[in-house]
Amino acid sequence: MIRTIISMLFAFACTHFVIAQQPDTSYLNQYDEQGNKHGQWIEGDVRSLRIKNYKHGKKDGIALSYHNMRLDGIIEYDNGDYKYLIALDDDGQLSYIFTDFVKVDTLLNAKNYVPNLHSGLRYKCIDFHKNGVIKSESLAYLLDDGSPEIDFVMVGVEKVYNDKGELIEIIQHE
């Protein structure tokens, strides 16, 4: 009898513990009253997972990007606008940073017309060598509805450094 009671208590405790340990996901992937994304969202799948925060339909706060369960990007948004983007390589080392995002009134800095270059968002690109030393610094314009990592046009001066941090080349982008 005591053995039966102990077994039942043990089964109840195990069941209660397992149920109690289930994470509360009710706050994830929610919409506000107007039907806009709001709060924390988990998007993608195991190969390409993104955790983002929204405030009434606009990305806001820190977003994390994972590729094959490995953190590969950190982005901060402020009311839908980029603040910075940090990318990590396959070894988890710093690969590049995009920062100083600025909305500009004109895109006349580019000599030649570039289709889809209407966003007026300029930002600073900093690439890093494997040893953490800056590899290059430049400016870019984001193409409309694009991603700063792949949809951009380089403008102005690009400074290139060796792995000791010594300036080795200056490239003029038009």
pTM of the complete model: 0.76
Average pLDDT, the chain: 82
Residue 97 φ/ψ, nearest 5 degrees: -130, 135
Contacts of 157 (CB under 8 A, 6+ apart): 138, 139, 170, 171, 172, 173
* Between 33 and 13, the higher pLDDT residue: 33
Q: Which of 129, 123, 133, 134 is nearest to 156 (CA)?
A: 123
Q: What is the mean pLDDT of the segment spanning 19-40?
A: 83
Q: Give the pLDDT mean for 85-94.
A: 93
Q: According to the model, what pLDDT value does residue 18 have?
A: 47
Residue-level pLDDT at 119: 58
Q: Is the pLDDT of residue 117 over 90?
A: no
CA distance to 6, 12, 15, per residue, from 2 (Å): 6, 15, 20
What residues does each domain of the chain span? 32-90, 93-174
